[in-house]
Structure 1
Amino acid sequence: MATRPAVQSSGRRPAKLSRESIVNAALTFLDREGWDALTINALATQLGTKGPSLYNHVESLDDLRRTVRMRVVKDIIDMLTTVGQGRTRDDAVMAMASAYRSYAHHHPGRYSAFTRMPLGGDDPEFTEATREAAAPVIAVLGSYGLDGEEAFYAALEFWSAMHGFVLLEMTGVMNGIADTDTVFSDMVMRLAAGMERR
């Protein structure tokens, strides 16, 4: 008696795989399961297929993770550029900081991917991409009279403050101890005031 091929419980065939569809699935997977859970087999299960079929489109788990990181960096650049458009000084700084914080909370897995690789590591393309991610912030810092290396390091300081605050929120450290929205706004405005004095 002939055996029938296995059918997914949903009754649908797996979607046709491509590098783009795999990366998109990985981004969704990250936000649900987290960075450490991302493996080829786990992602393949989400896609309703087997691990080896993914290797027709990605070279390795490292290749997939690097591609995901690059995609997240691009998304962050696009987001910061969009919210900063037409704004200057404090208005732009607050808009960018709020968008950054919102992105981290809505996409925790993607945000984790963004911060899992050294900014000055041994991947020149990723290093260049992360410097480009600072470009929208550096452009705004120009409205405070900062430019060149001074603007780059000011942007790095600003990002460090944002990351620290977001991380404390995401890990629950700040739960119930303060009105975090007010604390965040006050912190951003103090940073902006420091840019002006600088």
Structure 2
Amino acid sequence: MTRQGGARMAQPSTPRKAPRLSRDSIVNAALTFLDRDGWDALTINALATQLGTKGPSLYNHVHSLDDLRRTVRMRVVGDIIGMLTNVAEGRTRDDAVTAMASAYRSYAHHHPGRYSAFTRMPLGGDDPDFTEATRAAAEPVIAVLASYGLEGENAFYAALEFWSAMHGFVLLEMTGAMEGIDSDAVYSDMVMRLASGMERR
């Protein structure tokens, strides 16, 4: 406030600065949005509101909602591959399998929206890049299965079985089907049964 001619005058307010946007910052914001509000709630306008801007400003960095969702899915797949690779590093056989299974389940529970993005089919039909990326997500598991002596198609199908079991269990937990059950113990037992099956193969 200043005085002029005996009267107090308000200083002009500083205009609010528009957020600095980039493709990466928008995708990162979308990941946070997913975990809070879910996949179906993700729209350009809803995300723009979270970022404190208007929908059209996002189109300078993403072509469409489909483009944003596809990019988010690819980012999540990359994060999961990195996570599984890191936890399996220096481990083999049962030790590696249990570590990866625990990390996978933890990721799904801590990032439910991102996990939903990972398990969604590509929008608009076939997407070769996304299909290739999801197949690449099996590579850390296949590398571990090699320590059981599994190779080629046998290792790939075993990895699919492993993922199917983990994914099914996580979905049952997320839908409340595991309430009243010691799900930690059941999950651990399931993973060890899978590991012993790898041994017998």
TM over 0.5: yes
Partner of 1:126: 130
Partner of 1:188: 191
Q: Secondary structure at the match of 1:87?
A: coil
- Given the alignment of the two structures, is residue 141 of structure 1 paired with residue 145 of structure 2, yes or no? yes
CA distance in structure 1 between the aligned counterparts of 2:49 and 2:73, rounded to whole angstroms: 21
Following TM superposition, by how much is the alpha carbon of 1:5 offset from its aligned partner in structure 2, in angstroms? 9.3
CA contact (8 A) 2:45 2:54 kept: yes
CA contact (8 A) 2:19 2:53 kept: no
Match of 2:22 among 5, 18, 22: 18
Count of residues in Structure 1 that have an aligned counterpart in Structure 2: 188
Q: Secondary structure at the match of 2:101?
A: helix
CA distance in structure 2 between the aligned counterparts of 1:126 and 1:28, rounded to whole angstroms: 21
Q: Which runs of 5+ in 2 are unaligned?
A: 1-11
CA contact (8 A) 1:23 1:68 kept: yes
Following TM superposition, by how much is the alpha carbon of 1:14 offset from its aligned partner in structure 2, in angstroms? 3.8
Structure 2 matches for 1:1-198, cutoff 5 A? 13-117=17-121, 122-176=126-180, 178-198=181-201
Larger Rg: 2
Q: Which runs of 5+ in 1 are unaligned?
A: none
TM-score, length basis structure 1: 0.91
CA distance in structure 1 between the aligned counterparts of 2:160 and 2:69, rounded to whole angstroms: 24
CA contact (8 A) 1:14 1:47 kept: no
Partner of 2:4: none
Partner of 2:6: none
CA contact (8 A) 1:29 1:43 kept: yes
CA distance in structure 1 between the aligned counterparts of 2:13 and 2:82, rounded to whole angstroms: 44
CA distance in structure 2 between the aligned counterparts of 1:139 and 1:57, rounded to whole angstroms: 37
* C-alpha RMSD of matched pairs (Å): 1.6
Q: Please identify runs of 4+ aligned residues in structure 1 that moved more than 6 A.
A: 4-7
CA contact (8 A) 1:165 1:184 kept: yes
CA contact (8 A) 1:44 1:54 kept: yes
CA distance in structure 2 between the aligned counterparts of 1:126 and 1:6, rounded to whole angstroms: 45
* Aligned amino acid, residue 76 of structure 1: I
